[in-house]
């Protein structure tokens, strides 16, 4: 069975480290004393690979090439998010809308 990306965890990570309060309503930022675990950071990295694959190669060339320099969940991932969080948020919203409105459940 394929692993699904944890979009909610990515949203929480973006909201905690970078984004203002208006981004991702309903997602609470993580408290400072409650750090993201290594397993969560790996899940966030996996989710980022999924989100970047959804990017338009023409409109998001810098985002795609920037992510190629991030090889694992480390400080480079944080700086990548800092530089491209706005584009990632738009891709997440578009993907969430498409998933919610255009794909049928498989049961």
> Per-residue confidence of the chain (107 residues) as pLDDT tens digits?
456 778 999 999 999 988 777 788 888 888 888 999 999 999 999 999 999 999 999 999 999 999 999 988 888 899 999 999 999 999 998 877 655 544 444 44
The pLDDT of residue 103: 46
Residue 30, domain member (yes or no): no
* Domain coverage including residue 78: 7-19+38-101
The pLDDT of residue 99: 56
- Which residue, 104, 65, 106, 92, is CA-closest to 7? 92
Our count of domains for the chain comes to 1
pTM (two decimals): 0.82
61-62-66 Cα angle (round to 5): 120
Structural contact between residues 36 and 12, judged by C-beta atoms closer than 8 angstroms = no
Residue 93, domain member (yes or no): yes
Residue 54, domain member (yes or no): yes
Tokens 């993907």 belong to 95
Exposed/middle/buried for residue 102 (C-beta within 10 Å: 0-12, 13-18, 19+): exposed
Residue 82, domain member (yes or no): yes
Residue 24, domain member (yes or no): no
The pLDDT of residue 25: 85
């Amino acid at each position: 069975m394929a692993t699904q990306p944890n979009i909610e965890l990515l949203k929480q990570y973006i909201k905690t480290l970078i984004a203002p309060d208006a981004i991702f309503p309903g997602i609470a930022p993580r408290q400072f004393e409650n750090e993201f675990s290594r397993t969560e950071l790996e899940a966030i990295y996996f989710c980022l690979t999924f989100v970047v694959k959804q990017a338009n190669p023409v409109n998001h060339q810098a985002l795609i090439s920037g992510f190629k320099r991030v090889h694992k969940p480390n400080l480079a991932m944080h700086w990548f998010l800092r530089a491209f969080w706005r584009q990632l948020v738009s891709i997440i919203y578009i993907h969430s809308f498409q998933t919610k409105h255009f794909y049928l459940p498989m049961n």
